[in-house]
């Protein structure tokens, strides 16, 4: 799956928490999210300057455009992460271990692994 297919799939399955997602679909979505965050950060700086909803010294957080776009991409990002867990034959509730520091690293390494070969309890193998 390529970049445009992954972004299209992520947006078309906006709140679909069922099924499976391949590694390439997930990592292309991550790249898309990073690029969108860079662009919205630049737009915020160009349009609003130092205006932010929250500031820590010189660092500005929760700028208007970045906040709105981040909220818009939150649900599809969570849905895609759950589908990625489904691809490895794990329940999406494993995503909650990301709330711990070490759990985020575990998820990072799990998401680099290939999913279950063949069908599993969450659906057919998207690579076959």
Grouping H, G, I as helix, E, B as strand and the rest as coil, residue 123 is: strand
Query: What residue segments make up the domains of the chain, in order of their start?
Result: 3-110
| Residue-level pLDDT at 56 | 67
| Residue-level pLDDT at 51 | 65
Q: Could you tell me what percent of the chain has a pLDDT over 90?
A: 73
CA atoms within 13 A on the CB side of 30: 12
Span 92-110, average pLDDT: 94
| Residue-level pLDDT at 52 | 65
Structure tokens at 29: 């979505």
Task: Report in angstroms the alpha-carbon separations of 23 from 1, 66, 86, 113.
Answer: 9, 26, 12, 8
Span 12-30, average pLDDT: 94
| Residue-level pLDDT at 67 | 87
């Amino acid at each position: 799956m390529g970049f445009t297919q992954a972004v299209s799939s992520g947006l078309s399955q906006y709140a679909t928490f069922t099924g499976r997602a391949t590694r390439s679909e997930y990592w292309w979505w991550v790249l898309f999210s990073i690029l969108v965050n860079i662009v919205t950060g630049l737009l915020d700086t160009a349009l609003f300057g130092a205006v932010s909803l929250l500031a820590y010294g010189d660092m500005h957080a929760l700028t208007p455009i970045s906040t709105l776009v981040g909220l818009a991409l939150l649900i599809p990002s969570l849905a895609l992460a759950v589908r990625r867990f489904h691809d490895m034959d794990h329940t999406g509730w494993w995503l909650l271990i990301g709330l711990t520091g070490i759990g985020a690293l575990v998820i990072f390494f799990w998401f680099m692994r290939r999913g279950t070969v063949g069908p599993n309890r969450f659906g057919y193998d998207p690579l076959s």
